[in-house]
């Protein structure tokens, strides 16, 4: 019997999940996971930064902000041929989804026209497409959908209460509005957050509650572990206990049983045992390749070696679509 999808989680229920004994929590999450997915199948995506740096936002975790002194330099949008070539390389390495990130507050009309052409080119390779481009208007969302964009990523980052400690240049409601525009355009939603930014357990619980109480759960939920970058305000923060990260993965799986839960940024610093526990807890999607936008990511061959040890197989585009249906 499959778990019933819920959109009415109460704060005390979510905190109750976080407070379960670790083994009980993982057993419950793994049981839910097996009801809805192949427990040994993991979706593989590759993320390419197609326009790096120079962002006017002040997200305290991000080295791409023009407000911080980091090693990231501002670049223009990559040309179509270079992006398509990277997508082909990703496909050849086993990725089924190609994600494109641009460091904008929001794209302009001319950017949307260029991106529409790029999306069509990536789709022609037989890959799923995803983009994260900042805030979207309803018209821009509709144009990206018409070009064939499958997923749009726009993270909430943290709880609404803690959000103002991390970002001042756009509101929580701005992010929710973009997600509504994406959903109304008929695209799949990719939305999660970042843990380890100095937030409390209650903030992690509220982030997941906001996601799970949406009218429709995000099809993809990336859970990022903060990668501290020198020059950003969050550099030097006390690192989150890895067991709290695994708990967050497990609670996300229980609350959003049909969503892909992505083990995202921060994986470079995790040992194989931690990653294995995350997969057991319900993580069934990863990014691989050399970089996650501007931070290091495990190399593809290391991931394949780990998959071999764990008996995990990469999901194809068709299998990913079937799981998400």
Catalytic sites, residue numbers: 55, 59, 62, 99, 130, 190, 262
Output DSSP code: residue 100. Answer: E
Identify the bridge partners of residue 48 per DSSP, sorted by sequence position.
100
- Collapsed DSSP state (helix, strand, coil) of residue 220: strand
CA dihedral 104→161→184→137, nearest 10 degrees, is: -30
Cα–Cα distance for residue pair 278/298, rounded to 1 Å: 15
Q: Are 187 and 151 in contact (CB under 8 A)?
A: yes
DSSP string for residues in 150-205: -EEE---BS-HHHHTTT--SS-HHHHHHHHHHHHHTTPEEE--EEE-SS--HHHHH
């Amino acid at each position: 019997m499959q778990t019933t999808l819920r959109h009415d989680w109460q704060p005390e229920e979510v905190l109750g999940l976080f407070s379960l004994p670790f083994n009980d929590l993982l057993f419950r999450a793994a049981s839910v996971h097996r009801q809805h997915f192949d427990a040994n199948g993991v979706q593989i995506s590759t993320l390419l930064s197609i326009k790096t740096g120079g962002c006017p936002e002040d997200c305290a975790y991000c080295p791409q902000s023009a407000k911080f002194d980091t090693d990231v330099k501002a670049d223009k949008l990559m040309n179509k041929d270079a992006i398509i070539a990277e997508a082909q390389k990703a496909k050849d390495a086993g990725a089924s989804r190609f994600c494109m990130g641009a460091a904008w507050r929001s794209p302009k009309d001319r950017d949307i026209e260029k991106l529409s052409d790029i999306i069509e080119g990536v789709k022609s390779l037989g890959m799923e497409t995803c983009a994260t481009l900042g805030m979207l208007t309803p018209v821009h969302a509709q144009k990206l959908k018409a070009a064939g964009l499958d997923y749009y990523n726009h993270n909430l980052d943290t709880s609404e209460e803690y959000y103002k400690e991390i970002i001042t240049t756009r509101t929580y409601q701005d992010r929710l509005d973009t997600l509504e525009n994406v959903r109304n355009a008929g695209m799949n939603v990719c939305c999660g957050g970042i843990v380890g930014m100095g937030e409390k357990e209650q903030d992690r619980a509220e982030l997941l509650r906001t996601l799970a109480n949406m009218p429709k759960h995000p099809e993809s939920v990336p859970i990022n572990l903060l990668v501290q970058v020198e020059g950003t305000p969050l550099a030097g923060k006390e690192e989150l206990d890895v067991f709290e990260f695994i708990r967050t993965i497990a609670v996300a799986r229980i609350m959003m049983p049909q969503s892909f839960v992505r083990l995202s940024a921060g994986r470079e610093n995790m040992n194989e045992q931690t990653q294995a526990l995350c997969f057991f807890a319900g993580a069934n999607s990863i990014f691989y390749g050399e970089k996650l936008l501007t931070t290091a990511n495990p190399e593809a061959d290391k991931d394949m070696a780990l998959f071999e040890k764990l008996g995990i197989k990469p999901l194809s585009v068709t299998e990913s679509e079937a799981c998400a249906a």
